[in-house]
Amino acid sequence: MKLSCLSSNPSKPCFILHFKGVTLMLDCGLDVKEILKFLPLPVIQSTKFSSLQTWTPPNNKEGLDEDELKESGGNIFVNGCLEFLTPEVGMTDLSQIDAILISNHNVMLALPYITEYTGFKGQVFCTDPTLQMGRQYMEELVTYVERYPKPEIRDRWKEPVILDLLPPFLKEAVHPFAWKKCYTKHDIQSCVARVQTVGFNEKRNLYGALTISSCSSGYAIGSCNWVITSEYEKVCYVSGTSTLTTHPKPVDQASLRNSDVLILSCLTQTPSNNPDAMIGDFCVNAAVTLKNGGNVLVPCYPSGITYDLFECLSGHLDSCGLSQVPLYFVSPVSDSALAYSNIFAEWLSASKQSRVYLPEAPFPHAEVSALIYGLSEDFKPPCVVFSGHPSLRMGDAVHFLEMWGNSSSNTIIFTEPDFPFVEALSPYQPLQIRVCYCPIDTCLRFSQANKLIKDLKPTHLVVADSYIQPPVSMPHKTEFVINWEPSPLTYRRGEVISLPIKRQFETIEITPEVIKCRNIHTCKGLDFKDSIMVKDIAPGYDSALRPFGEHFFI
């Protein structure tokens, strides 16, 4: 049994698992963080970005293209078409992958690169909410990129001779030659058409060798962990899991117990920040700004924690006497994102499900105005605008930041943990807008993960190498590590690890005709397992050999 890691970011995982002759891909995470190296795509022509000074290396002997790199806020940015860091697909022949298992919408964004641009011919499995919300994420991404396209890809700067001359911000780009331009809407349609949806605890057979089933992970609507079993082995893949009580159905721990191998990914990206405290800070900062007559900008994704923010903020504003303040949700998929959250009632927590029978909508989204474009509407100030993209490199959030960024009465609140806010704001500097960083990551904290692992009792544990040492920014925080004895196996991008699982027994079939022709005996080193199933015995066959009927185990 072997496991290959194709991603450099454990929060956007992608693995290849070779198990019992079946090859599985676990998740297709797209590392969007690298688009911070690019200049934003402005909604309208921006004099600020167009007037930035061009950066060239000393003497420019390497022939860097004119205007390829721009200088802003003390950093160097690529002035070209946005590119994304895809999984390391060159490690394996993707035509040999039998199935792809998707855990949640956050780790699905690279799927079109696999299904549409490689020789992949296998099956894809995920839950229905994951499929629909993953499609929304992909459609929003493509719409932002296509709405305001840059004319060409600029990649001359990636040449090693130039890369060595660049300042650290761009020089430290992760695998720039693996970056790819965004896929198309046609790619998305073709990709999602290949997906088969599954329910929680629904078993699917793969080629008679493995059985897969999904179980609730508690992270998002329809998010799941995967249980992969053969006759005598059990592998659990835990990705994007939460033990917090929010809107999704709670995590199912029972299905994950006593596995031979537990593969763990997607722990919190902000271990020092408590999600409940961050939601409280978010509401307080928004209310203070609104009371002072300012506007609030919340760069966000179209679902996930955004649903909770709508509900928490509207309730907090009511308690502060600010119920008249409008909340706007600006996204190309805003209508469908709000609609689906109230449709998938059976995938929600018990408290949310109970509202359906009152009858009430699970989420109070009626107070939120869903808008497709930020330019075509009259916004009544003071107001709160939720808008993509949280990277501030594309989407209507770029327009709102340029519009409100020069006033200290306004506030921008970062809630998504995927992007460092200082880097996200860098090309817009100088700014007067008030900045609040309230990252809300509901994935397992290290203490919760350690407790969960202890309860699940796996024989072998596999984690990211970054999970067994404190974060680089907090080397003294030894509590922010996975503690497990014996030491867990670790993975990192580009590595293939052998999982220490040795098959002791196997199920095989022998026809009665073969049994009639010759006696059956065990070879040296092999033995029969006690729990033998007898399906059929040839008429007149010696009863002494009944244990070795059509099905037996070696």
Buried b / exposed e along 424-444 (16+ C-beta atoms within 10 A)? bbbbbeebebbebbbbbbbbb
Read off the pTM: 0.89
Report the percentage of the chain scoring pLDDT > 90: 63
Question: Residue 372 pLDDT more than 70?
Answer: no
- Given a cut of 90, whether residue 526 has pLDDT beyond it is no
pLDDT digits (tens, 9 = 90+) for 21-66: 999 999 999 999 999 999 999 888 888 888 898 888 776 656 677 7
Confidence class for position 402, pLDDT limits 50, 70, 90: very high
Q: 55-64, 86-95, 436-445, 490-499 — which is least confidently predicted?
A: 55-64
Report the distance separating Cα 329 and Cα 309, nearest Å. Answer: 11
* pLDDT in the model for residue 343: 60
Report the number of secondary-structure helices (H) and strands (E) in the chain: 14, 27
Q: 275-437: what fold?
A: Rossmann fold (3.40.50)
How far apart are alpha carbons 38 and 174 in whole angstroms? 13
Query: Residue 160: which pLDDT band, with cuts at 50, 70 and 90?
Result: confident
167 to 32, 56, 60, 64, 65: CA distances (angstroms)? 21, 11, 15, 15, 17
CA 542 vs CA 138, 508, 554: distances in Å: 64, 21, 21
Q: DSSP 3-state assignment of 80? A: coil
Tokens 């994304």 belong to which residue? Answer: 84
Span 299-327, average pLDDT:
91
Interval 516-543 mean pLDDT: 54
| Pair 3, 497: CB distance under 8 Å | yes
Of 7, 70, 5, give the one whose Cα is nearest residue 33. 7
Q: What is the pLDDT of residues 331-365, one digit of tens each?
A: 999 888 887 766 665 656 566 555 554 555 544 54
- In this prediction, residue 538 has a pLDDT band, given cuts at 50, 70 and 90, of very low
Residue 201, token pair as written in the block: 């605890």
| Listed range (266-275, 447-456, 510-519) with the worst mean pLDDT | 510-519
Distance CA 325, CA 291 (A): 10
What's the whole-number average pLDDT of the chain?
87
Q: What is the pLDDT of residue 376?
A: 57
Token readout for 12 is 């956007």
394 DSSP assignment? S
Q: What is the CA radius of gyration of the chain?
A: 26
Residue showing tokens 């002997």: 61
Beta strands in 316-427 (DSSP E): 327-330, 368-371, 384-387, 411-414
**Domain extent listing, the chain:** 2-45+67-268+444-498, 275-437, 507-553
The CB density around residue 209, as the number of other CB atoms within 10 Å, is 14
pLDDT at 504: 66
Q: Return the HEC string of 262-309.
A: EEECCCCCCCCCCHHHHHHHHHHHHHHHHHCCCCEEEECCCCCHHHHH
Q: Count the Cβ atoms, other than its own, within 10 Å of residue 110.
A: 26
Q: What is the CATH number of domain 2-45+67-268+444-498?
A: 3.60.15.10
Asked if the model's pLDDT at residue 177 lies above 90, the reply is no
Helix (H, G, I), strand (E, B) or coil at 93: coil
What's the pLDDT at 541? 44
Of 175-184, 258-267, 284-293, minimum mean pLDDT range: 175-184
| Residue 114 parent element (H or E) | helix 111-117
